[in-house]
Amino acid sequence: MNGRPHVTLEDVARAAEVSLATASRALNGTTKVRADLRDRVVAAAEKLAYTPNAHAQALAGASHRTVGVICHDVSDPYFAAIARGVMRVAGDNGLLVMLASTFRDPQKEIAYVSMLRAQRASAILLIGSGFEDKTWEKALAAEIDPYRRGGGQVAVVSRHRSLRVDTVQPENREGAAALAKALLAQGHRRFAVLSGPRALTTVVDRLGGFRDGLAEAGIELAESDIVEAPFTRDGGYEAMNELIGRGLDSGCVFAVTDVMAIGALTALREAGISVPGQVSLAGFDDIPVVRDLDPPLTTVALPLEELGEKAMELAIKGNKGSRSRILRLAGEVVLRSSTAARR
């Protein structure tokens, strides 16, 4: 960040040695302000490079309230479904929503939070995974903490380890462990995992949970059985092709997100590998499209829209206490035709 302080109307009023109300009236062009006072306010605003903000004016007039929603990629059905839940609750409460995508760039996330803070959004929602990055954690907290002290509300979806904010947390680790046990019950014993970047807390939790579930049955998942790739459809396609190129010898492949599983399914089809005849394939999230795949995808179903609804409700209610609230929403293993019992 460039470190430039955000100039507020209070700063202008202080520099002009007038009341906040006088500064506001002067900059809004009202005729009820003496000419000499107006000149002082305008001069102070120019010196401080203050620009009246339309969102702040709307908030001050109570005609609209603005909520900023920051996600990793709004084109990903996972985030689109959560955002839909956010917008439903926001609309029911007369809130306007601004939506931004960071494309999993931690610096962009910080920049968007800073922008929303400057625009005095009434609430900020982060609906993507946190990052396993101490520098990012400190920089984000440096934006979030003063925003909250000023009355702004913050809620997040997924695990953000260092942020002391209200959280709606899908039980990623528990869901992945339950999926591992369900696949073991089908008779699978050799597994591979298509993993997103392990800098993301969601990947860490899902991979860790899957490993835990296998370990209870005495099965160890080796590092060579894990292929890391972008958290996208193309990432899943590339990771699956890498496994195939090595000489795929796993009976079951777990993609840590459904969009990766969709790419993996295409790669398997192109290679002439039958699903589930030769290889079983499972994902995580239960985005709507996976029910219509051929074959339909086994996955862990999360209540995606409810995640967004609960996060928005937390932000609307506010938190007057000193402790953050955490709501945990469980996933449910859904077995479909992409996995089958092994003989």
The reported pLDDT for the residue numbered 146 is 87
The reported pLDDT for the residue numbered 4 is 44
Q: What is the pTM of this model?
A: 0.79
If asked whether residues 45 and 125 sit together in one domain, one would say no
Domain range for residue 27? 9-60
Domain count along the chain: 3
Q: Is residue 40 part of a domain?
A: yes
The reported pLDDT for the residue numbered 55 is 42
Q: Is residue 223 part of a domain?
A: yes
If asked whether residues 71 and 50 sit together in one domain, one would say no
Round to whole Å and give the CA distance between 146 and 124: 13
If asked whether residues 53 and 136 sit together in one domain, one would say no
If asked whether residues 41 and 81 sit together in one domain, one would say no
DSSP code of residue 284: S
Q: Is residue 155 part of a domain?
A: yes
If asked whether residues 159 and 181 sit together in one domain, one would say no
User: pLDDT of the chain along its 343 residues, tens only?
Assistant: 344 456 777 888 899 998 877 887 787 765 577 888 888 988 988 888 776 654 444 444 433 488 999 999 999 999 999 999 999 999 999 899 999 999 989 889 999 998 888 888 889 999 988 888 888 888 888 888 888 888 889 999 998 767 788 999 999 999 999 999 999 999 999 999 999 999 999 999 999 999 999 999 999 999 999 999 999 999 999 999 999 999 888 899 999 999 999 999 999 999 999 999 999 999 999 999 999 999 999 999 999 999 999 999 999 887 766 688 999 999 999 999 999 998 6
Task: Cis check for the bond before 295: say yes or no (omega within 30 of 0).
Answer: yes
If asked whether residues 156 and 191 sit together in one domain, one would say no
Q: Is residue 229 part of a domain?
A: yes
What tokens appear for 72 in the block?
């990793």
If asked whether residues 240 and 154 sit together in one domain, one would say no
If asked whether residues 221 and 267 sit together in one domain, one would say yes
If asked whether residues 203 and 180 sit together in one domain, one would say yes
Round to whole Å and give the CA distance between 254 and 246: 17
Q: Is residue 336 part of a domain?
A: no
Q: Is residue 338 part of a domain?
A: no
Round to whole Å and give the CA distance between 307 and 84: 10
Residues 305/241, Cβ–Cβ less than 8 Å = no
- The runs of H, that is alpha helices, within the chain are 9-16, 20-27, 35-48, 54-61, 77-92, 106-118, 134-149, 172-185, 201-215, 233-247, 258-270, 304-317
- Lookup result for tokens 């010196």: 47
Sign of CA dihedral 178, 179, 185, 187: negative
If asked whether residues 218 and 103 sit together in one domain, one would say no
* Paired strand residues for 301: 285, 332
Distances, alpha carbon 323 to alpha carbons 24, 122, 148, 164, in Å = 36, 20, 13, 8
Round to whole Å and give the CA distance between 123 and 315: 6
If asked whether residues 186 and 200 sit together in one domain, one would say yes
If asked whether residues 125 and 159 sit together in one domain, one would say yes
Pick from 291, 292, 267: nearest CA to 279: 267
Q: Is residue 1 part of a domain?
A: no
> Which CATH number does the domain housing residue 25 bear?
1.10.260.40
Round to whole Å and give the CA distance between 286 and 265: 15
For residue 227, give the H/E element and its range.
strand 226-228
Single-letter amino acid, residue 65? R
> Which CATH number does the domain housing residue 155 bear?
3.40.50.2300
Q: Is residue 2 part of a domain?
A: no
